[in-house]
Amino acid sequence: MPKKSKRKKKRKKKKTKRHSQQKFSFTDMNADQLLNNSSSSSSTDRRLRILAKHLQSTSSSAMESNTVVSASPTSAAGSSVFAHIVQAPEDPILGVTVAYNKDPSPVKLNLGVGAYRTEEGKPLVLNVVRQAEQLLVNDSSRVKEYLPIVGLADFNKLSAKLILGADSPAVQDNRVTTVQCLSGTGSLRVGAEFLARHYHERTIYIPVPTWGNHPKVFTLAGLAVKSYRYYDPTTRGLNFQGLLEDLQSAPSGAIVLLHACAHNPTGVDPTPQQWEQIRQLMRSKALLPFFDSAYQGFASGSLDADAQSVRMFVADGGECLVAQSYAKNMGLYGERVGALSIVCRAADVASRVESQLKLVIRPMYSNPPIHGASIVATILKDRNMFHEWTLELKAMADRIISMRQQLFDALRARGTPGDWSHIIKQIGMFTFTGLNSEQVTFMRKEYHIYMTSDGRISMAGLSSRTVPHLTDAIHAAVTKVA
């Protein structure tokens, strides 16, 4: 039994707040008359008295002001049932920003979390998003009621079209069920929970490496997590042979997580030909594809090009899951907007699947947040706004591609040992530098450069101004640290 802590109990007399009297629309008998009809003293009447006091203008309620509270001198309360809990380690990705924020150095550089930054190093709210928000704010007819469990209907339809293509037969045949979820994470989690309950195979294969949160999402959802080879450190490219072998030896029906484009953290994507081979292999073994699409439009600058892998699988008539996020491509990070689509063989199947997805969602958060989805729907359904979005998206993608080129050129000009061509071969927000954790630590300590310990840098965090500093740091790390 822990000793009583030093906290003193200051018992304050409760002051009753007086609020202005409110007029009602119900005007018949008032509460007084109601009360006078009751005779016995009971909790019932006490309740009525409370109500009555509430309706009349009163001086301070006798109930509260004179109550003296004494704590019973007892044993059981005082020690926590959670006393054994130890502090959890910082999230490896989000913890980088925490550490960055604490650093006082004026030259510090945050290349940790994958959030887009402008050339000036500032976060960016897209113009088209601002426009959409203004429209929403000015629309006084809008209310903030609960969305349905599956989210905003418009948003769902438009999201499915965005990833699958406007003319996708799966969409036209009503074979797709789409539910709004909390960004990519939420979509993955809801999809995984559904699979754990309703799918006959409870193992998911994830690439090595992958986004740090993937294994936790799937494990907590009730799936067993295995891996397949993906990244080849020697080439800093795709270990295609290893990938095929590992998928070939997976049990029939196993779930396979695929990054739709701009693989996180490596930036290494299969070519279209390689995707086709992967598709054929997976279909031959009835492996179930679960796509994580977090960067559509952000990788190449083209929404359609970045969706090719997903569309290839859907085109063969088979089933798959797709988790979509609007965090990066619409800059809606904190609004938590995303969608889970399950492509089924038949419309009635899709409808039953939707009903089961609702059972996963309801006990998790009841229904999804309205604001971000409303912004997305506003943009996607308006031709002009949609077009403007594609331009802003391409500008972001182009800036990142240009950063890649600048960093590559700078390292080459510097004569930094090693082949740095992977910087321009990899795609999307991240570069897997190939730096080891000692080098990463060195760069943080000596150069105040922050990245995840696997050597992943977010190109979005770089600018022309900061490329030289990063180049210096990489050069030093590679030449001084093993």
Partner 1 sequence: MAFRRIILGQVGRVGERSMSSWWRNVQPAAKDPILGVTEAFLADPSPDKVNVGVGAYRDDNGKPVVLECVREAERRIAGNLSMEYLPMGGSAKMVEETLRLAYGENSDLIKDKRIAAIQSLSGTGACRIFAEFQRRFCPDSQIYIPVPTWANHHNIWRDAHVPQRTFHYYHPESRGLDFASMMDDIKSAPNGSFFLLHACAHNPTGVDPSEEQWREISYQFKVKGHFPFFDMAYQGFASGDPERDAKSIRIFLEDGHLIGCAQSYAKNMGLYGQRVGCLSVVCEDEKQAVAVKSQLQQLARPMYSNPPTHGALIVSTVLGDPNLKKLWLKEVKGMADRIIGARIALRQNLEKLGSSLSWKHITNQIGMFCYSGLTPEQVDRLTNEFHIYMTRNGRISMAGVTTGNVGYLANAIHEVSKSA
Among 269, 306, 328, 389, which one carries the catalytic annotation? 328
Query: Shortest Cβ distance from residue 420 to partner 1 (Å)?
Result: 30
Angle at 320 between CA 319 and CA 322, to 5 degrees: 150
- β-partners of residue 326 are none
Among 53, 246, 269, 292, which one carries the catalytic annotation? 292
One residue of 87, 234, 273, 479 binding partner 1 per CB under 8 A = 87
Q: Within positions 107 to 146, which residues make up the interface with partner 1, using CB under 8 A?
A: 113, 115, 123-125, 129-130, 133-134, 137, 140, 142-146
CA–centroid distance for 405 within its chain? 29
C-beta of 236 vs 336, nearer to partner 1: 336
Under the binding rule (CB under 8 A), the answer on residue 242 touching partner 1 is no
Query: Shortest Cβ distance from residue 392 to partner 1 (Å)?
Result: 14
Under the binding rule (CB under 8 A), the answer on residue 14 touching partner 1 is yes
The b-or-e profile of 329-341 (16+ CB within 10 A means b, else e) is bbbbbebbbbbbb
One residue of 56, 66, 105, 219 binding partner 1 per CB under 8 A = 219
Site string for partner 1, 398-437 (x = CB under 8 A): ----------------------------------------
Give the torsion through C-alpha atoms of 400, 406, 412, 413, to 10 deg.
-170
One residue of 57, 59, 69, 413 binding partner 1 per CB under 8 A = 69
Under the binding rule (CB under 8 A), the answer on residue 68 touching partner 1 is no
Q: Within positions 354 to 393, which residues make up the interface with partner 1, using CB under 8 A?
A: 355-356, 358-360, 362-372
Angle at 297 between CA 296 and CA 302, to 5 degrees: 130
**226 assigned to active site:** no
Under the binding rule (CB under 8 A), the answer on residue 213 touching partner 1 is yes
Number of residues that bind partner 1 (CB under 8 A): 131
Burial of 400 (0-12, 13-18, 19+ CB in 10 A): buried
Maximal CA-CA distance, the chain: 96
Query: Shortest Cβ distance from residue 400 to partner 1 (Å)?
Result: 18
Give the amino acid at 287: L
Give the amino acid at 394: K
Which tokens go with 101?
């924020």
Query: Shortest Cβ distance from residue 241 to partner 1 (Å)?
Result: 12
The values of phi and psi at residue 203, to 5°, are -115, 135
C-beta of 24 vs 234, nearer to partner 1: 24
Which tokens go with 287?
């492996």
Query: Shortest Cβ distance from residue 414 to partner 1 (Å)?
Result: 33
Query: Shortest Cβ distance from residue 330 to partner 1 (Å)?
Result: 9
One residue of 36, 39, 57, 74 binding partner 1 per CB under 8 A = 74
Of the ranges 40-48, 164-172, 397-405, 461-469, which one interacts with partner 1 (CB under 8 A)?
40-48
One residue of 32, 58, 64, 480 binding partner 1 per CB under 8 A = 64
- β-partners of residue 321 are 290, 342
Under the binding rule (CB under 8 A), the answer on residue 57 touching partner 1 is no
Site string for partner 1, 269-308 (x = CB under 8 A): -----------xx-xxxx-x--------------------
Bridging pattern class, strands 320-325 and 288-293:
parallel
Site string for partner 1, 302-341 (x = CB under 8 A): -------------xxxxx-------x---xxxxxx-----
Of the ranges 62-70, 164-172, 297-305, 404-412, which one interacts with partner 1 (CB under 8 A)?
62-70
Of the ranges 16-24, 157-165, 301-309, 414-422, which one interacts with partner 1 (CB under 8 A)?
16-24
Site string for partner 1, 153-172 (x = CB under 8 A): --------------------
One residue of 9, 102, 383, 445 binding partner 1 per CB under 8 A = 9
Give the amino acid at 244: L
C-beta of 326 vs 408, nearer to partner 1: 326
**328 assigned to active site:** yes
Which residues have a Cβ under 8 Å from the Cβ of 48 and sit 6 or more positions away? 31, 34, 35, 38
Under the binding rule (CB under 8 A), the answer on residue 80 touching partner 1 is yes
Q: CB of 278 within 8 A of CB of 247?
A: yes
Which residues belong to the active site?
A: 211, 292, 328
